Structure 1
Amino acid sequence: MQTILAFIVVFGSLVFFHELGHFLLAKRSGIMVREFAIGFGPKLLGINKGETLYTIRLLPLGGYVRMAGEDFDKVELQPGHRIGLLLDRDGRAERIVLNQNDRTPDMLYMEVEQADLEKELYIDGYDEEERRVRYPVSRKAIISEKGTETLIAPHDRQFESKSLGARAATIIAGPLFNFILAFFIFVILGLVQGIPKDDPVIADVTDDGPAISAGIEKGDRIVSVNGREVGSWNAFSAIIQDSPGEELTIGLERGGSVEEVNVTPASIDVEGQTIGQIGVLYEPQYEKNVLGTVAYGAEQTWFWFKRIFQLLGMLVTGQFTIEALSGPVGIYQATGAVAQAGVFNLMNWAAVLSINLGIMNLLPLPALDGGRLLFFGFEALRGRPIDKQKEGMVHFVGIMLLMVLMIVVTWNDIQRFFF
């Protein structure tokens, strides 16, 4: 139960803030947001507020913000449609009823000849006495069909009507909010737990690692690796992990003097990835510094941003394979393990996952935010948008490929944890 709750809270928070970024920038740009959804699949809970439906859906694997004017959002009245209209005080249609079964005294009935519910906002046709009539349509008109109500979206409220800059800002806001969330989590950790000094000081040395053979001792301070100054434990640890099997010259400060030792990190396989390890332990010391927490939050966010990009580069260059990737099952298992280590560790894990989610969404792949930004780049170069059908096909293929990748990494997780 603890694992389930931790996963829901952590992953739900990351998805919520990601979609909140899209939502707030869409609203700021004047785009109508049809739905703000957490999860995919069948709706479990839905609340209408204003012009937006807020939903929680069955599959907790992501979320979405559905904006007016996107795929399958068009509402058209074809010639020959018989409809009912309710007019407001100014004579504008404020409710358009399709497939009406019951006749209402206040409702006007007509057969549509022409209609524009986006730009000119009118309905033209014939009333029940075969007279030609034309009614203006309210910008807040509702279309009712078989119990389902849909607010019309004038063209200037649609996503595609906005400037290239406004559309790009709306899309990039999702990943940006993930980075902002990570920053604030690190700041809160700094305020509550304290700021780790991150001093590169050896807390202990294992009995069978390369470090003890090289003469490294408890209490030694790392000052350099291969002549390059090292100022933090994170930096030192990253160098060791990235150098399996490579001899390194480590500068140590001991008793007020500096000496150098040579050590070769052992090659360790961690979930399909080969990393270096020398057999030393670290024990962070914390200090309370209110002003320093902001700098700490920024430093940690930047550190993990760079680190995740390095891992992506290793995947591209083949330094570790797709078998090392984890999907929802792997994240679920890892979240449970981290939750058992305490709330501070869980918060740190959530911040790293948030950065990872933001970076992954910025990759220039179809169906991701980065893929959409790539098409905006092409639009800026060409001076006109890419054909929507062609772009839609590319995104559809991208979704299919991402689903295949999800199946592969999920199968890897299942094999790793259950077999």
Structure 2
Amino acid sequence: MNTVIAFIVIFGSLVFFHELGHFIFAKRAGILCREFAIGFGPKVFAHKKGETVWTIRLLPLGGYVRMAGEDPEMTELKAGQRIGVVFNEKEEAVNLIVNGRDRFQDARVIEIEKADLEHGLTISGYEEGEEELKTYPVHREALVTEDRLSTQIAPYDRQFNSKTLPQRAMAIFAGPLFNFILAFIVFVVLAMIQGIPTNEPELGEVINEGAAVEAGLQEGDRVVSINGDSMASWEEIVTVIQKSPDEELTFVIDREGEERTVAVTPSAEEADGKTFGRIGVYSPFEHSIIGSFTYGAKEVYNWTKLIFGVLGTILTGQFSIDDLSGPVGIYVSTDTVAQSGILNLAKWAGVLSINLGIMNLLPLPALDGGRLMFFFYEAVRGKPVDRQMEGMVHFVGFALLMLLMIVVTWNDIQRFFLQ
């Protein structure tokens, strides 16, 4: 149960922060954001605040920010159509009721001749009982009500495609960017809490069970030499220990200015078919506020470099689709990491956030990177790609991604539960 909660909190936080990036920069550009959704499928929770409906949906496989202009806006008002219209005190239309107007006692019935809800913001028509054609102004935040659902209109200057190329590109790029920012924050906070790993030849935390505690080693002991060889770094200490499973080692340590000689026999551990020595000691840490920020930046860089390296092996065929993991694999890994403590779980969340940011930047249809590629093409070409063509490419790309997700999930199930 704890793993389920941890998985939901971590994955939900990563998706929320990603979509928050889209949302903030879309709002900064003046784009109307109709919905901020975590998950896909049927709504589980919905709450409207301001112009935006905040929702949690059934399938926790991502999220989205629905911006005005990305999809067909709403029901088109056609000539000859009779609708109910609610006006404010300035005689501006504030609610255009396509059906169910009997529920609005103050609505006036108008037969539409022409409606412009994007540019001119007017409706022209004949009010019930009158023969004179009149034109009425429409409020910029007017609603269109159909089947009991009210949707705010989006004047063209509030739509995604009305914005400059840099504004649109930033609204899309901000999602992955916020994943990197989240990872940076996580690593900085971790460094402030537990300290920054150093390469000094000292012992960090000594675990309760292991060769180190049995030999009487303590946190803070400085290792002068092992088997007569002087130690200048933590890395050298680790190398000697790992090469010496079940072999007695003679440590000369400096504890508060006093040198002591201690015999330590590393236990034998196995991983990836190899045997290595282990004594049960973590690396040393130091505390520094400025160093914490430097550490956070380095961790983001190192993990980004590592993930791109893995992607490189996929492109060169050294990494097969059977080796990929989806939500099930992430859940199993989260369960393993959760057992090692909250700090390791937080670090895992930072790594996943970087991974999510990089995956979304891949130049594939339906991903943020795919959309940015279309923007790049628009910048080179001087005019945007046909919207229907772009929409079709993204639709096909999304379908293929869903198919890949199904295949990867099935591989995870076979790997972790059916073997």
- Decide whether aligned partners of structure 1 residues 280 and 112 sit closer, same or farther in structure 2, where only a CA change above 3 A counts: farther
Other structure's SS at 1:291 match: helix
Shift in CA distance, 103/219, structure 1 to aligned 2, threshold 3 Å: farther
Partner deviation per Cα, 1:337-374 (whole Å, 9 max, x = no partner): 11111001100000000000000000000000000000
Shift of 1:195: 0.8
Q: Is 1:373 paired with 2:372?
A: yes
- Kindly indicate whether residue 61 of structure 2 is the aligned counterpart of residue 61 of structure 1: yes
C-alpha separation in 2, matches of 1:326 and 1:410: 7
Q: Shift of residue 76 of structure 1?
A: 2.1
Asked if 1:36 is matched to 2:36, the reply is yes
SS in 2 for 1:76: coil
SS of the counterpart of 2:365? Answer: coil
**Residue of structure 1 in register with 2:282 after alignment:** 283
Question: Tell me, which stretches of 5 or more residues in structure 2 are unaligned?
Answer: 205-209, 212-225, 240-250, 253-269
Instruction: Write out the 4+ residue segments of structure 1 that deviate beyond 6 Å after TM superposition.
Output: 200-205, 217-223
1:321-352 per-residue CA deviation (whole Å, 9 max, x = no partner) reads 11111000000111111111100110000000
Question: In the alignment, which residue of structure 1 is the partner of 2:125?
Answer: 125
* CA distances 1:77-129 after superposition (whole Å, capped 9, x unpaired): 11221111111122111111111351755322111111110111011122223
Letter in 1 for 2:276: G
TM-score, reference length from structure 2: 0.82
Greater shift in the superposed pair: 160-169 or 127-136: 127-136
Distance 1:280 1:94 in 2: 74
Give distance in 2, aligned partners of 1:43 and 1:218: 65
Hey, what's the Cα distance between the residues in 1 that align with 2:49 and 2:195? 40
RMSD, aligned α-carbons = 2.8
Residue 199 of structure 1, CA deviation: 5.7
Match of 1:155?
Answer: 156
Q: Which residue pairs with 2:139 in the alignment?
A: 138
Q: Which runs of 5+ in 1 are unaligned?
A: 206-216, 224-230, 238-253, 256-267, 271-275
Residue 279 (structure 1) shift: 3.3
CA separation in 1, counterparts of 2:56 and 2:72?
Answer: 21
Q: Which amino acid aligns with 1:279?
A: F
| Number of residue equivalences | 367
Once the two structures are TM-superposed, the CA of residue 290 in structure 1 deviates from its matched residue by: 1.8
1:251-272 Cα deviation digits (max 9, x unpaired): xxx99xxxxxxxxxxxx996xx
Q: 2:203–2:284: 8 Å Cα contact kept in structure 1?
A: no
In structure 1, C-alpha distance between the alignment counterparts of 2:318 and 2:229, rounded to whole Å: 32
In 2, the alpha carbon distance for the partners of 1:355 and 1:58 equals: 25
From the superposition, tell whether residues 389 and 58 of structure 1 become closer, same or farther in structure 2 (CA, over 3 Å). same
Contact 2:199 2:234 in 1 (8 A): yes
1:357-372 superposed matches below 5 A: 357-372=356-371
- Aligned partners of 1:302, 1:139: CA distance in 2, in Å? 45
Q: Structure 2: how far apart are the matches of 1:93 and 1:4?
A: 49
**Any conservation in 2 of the 1:125–1:134 contact (CA below 8 Å)?**
yes
Are the aligned partners of 2:111 and 2:126 in contact in 1 as well (CA < 8 Å)? yes
Partner of 1:197: 198
Taking structure 1 as the reference length, the TM-score comes to: 0.82
Task: Tell me the distance in 1 between the aligned counterparts of 2:17 and 2:55.
Answer: 15
Aligned partners of 2:72 and 2:306: how far apart in 1?
39
Closer, same or farther: CA 150–104 of 1 in aligned 2, 3 Å: closer
Residue of structure 2 in register with 1:213 after alignment:
none
Deviates more, 1:73-82 or 1:83-92: 73-82
- 1:51 corresponds in structure 2 to 51
1:342 alignment partner AA: G
CA distance in 1, matches of 2:120, 2:228: 77
The Cα shift of 1:301 comes to: 0.7
Amino acid at match of 1:357: L
- Residue number in structure 2 paired with 1:263: none
Structure 1 residues 407 and 109: alpha-carbon distance in aligned structure 2, compared to 1, 3 A threshold: same
In structure 1, what residue type is equivalent to 2:334? T
* Structure 2 CA distance for partners of 1:378 and 1:222, relative to 1, 3 Å: farther
* 1:24 aligned residue: 24
Taking structure 1 as reference, are residues 292 and 100 closer, same or farther at Cα in structure 2, changes over 3 Å only?
same
1:33–1:277 CA distance, 2 compared to 1 (3 A):
farther
Q: Give me the whole-angstrom Cα distance separating, in 2, the residues matched to 1:110 and 1:80.
A: 9
Structure 2: how far apart are the matches of 1:300 and 1:317? 26
Distance 2:368 2:230 in 1: 44
Contact 2:101 2:107 in 1 (8 A): no
Deviation of 1:177 after TM superposition, in Å, equals 0.3
CA distance in 1, matches of 2:271, 2:374: 39
Q: Which residue is equivalent to 2:312?
A: 313
Q: Is the 8 A contact 1:75 1:152 kept in 2?
A: no
Matches within 5 A, 1:14-413: 14-102=14-102, 104=104, 106-128=106-128, 129-198=130-199, 279=276, 283-413=282-412
Shift of 1:287: 1.5
2: CA distance, partners of 1:278 / 1:381: 55
Q: What amino acid is aligned across from residue 13 of structure 2 in structure 1?
A: S
Range with greater deviation from structure 2 (35-44 or 73-82): 73-82
Provide closer, same or farther for how the CA distance between residues 137 and 17 of structure 1 changes in structure 2, counting only shifts above 3 A. same
